[in-house]
Amino acid sequence: MAAHRVTRGAWLGLPDWVLGEDAEALATGHAKQRALLLLDIAAGHLAAGRVEGAFAIATRALETGLHYRSGRIVERARAVRRSLALSSSPRVVRDFDERLHGVYL
């Protein structure tokens, strides 16, 4: 139930729902499901203005998606990236962009 709340909070842009004390502890189970939940947590961090933390988490999820060649995870990672519009990006975002560039699954 708590994982469902995190996911809905990420989709609705409600960081209070996503950034609970135990949000990352919910990321258990199969690696692919965990990666999708991590991307929801990253979206919550973005909604709260925590760009570096968001992309550190999103990078972990993206690595899982690339390892398993999961188009669903990669597309969700792209959606997280598209939700950020900054004129100058921190290094962690540029690293994320480099990792994501040219990935086709």
Radius of gyration, alpha carbons of the chain: 13
Residues 81-93: pLDDT tens digits? 999 987 778 999 9
The answer to whether 81 and 100 are in contact (CB under 8 A) is: yes
The answer to whether 23 and 6 are in contact (CB under 8 A) is: yes
Domains of the chain: total:
1
Tokens for 85? 């519009």
User: Of 26, 22, 28, 96, which Cα lies nearest the Cα of 66?
Assistant: 96
Tokens for 17? 């729902």
In 15-102, DSSP assigns E strands to: none
Residues 7-22: pLDDT tens digits? 677 667 667 766 665 5
Q: What is the pTM of this model?
A: 0.78
Within a domain: 105? no
Within a domain: 96? yes
User: What domain range is 70 assigned to?
Assistant: 2-100
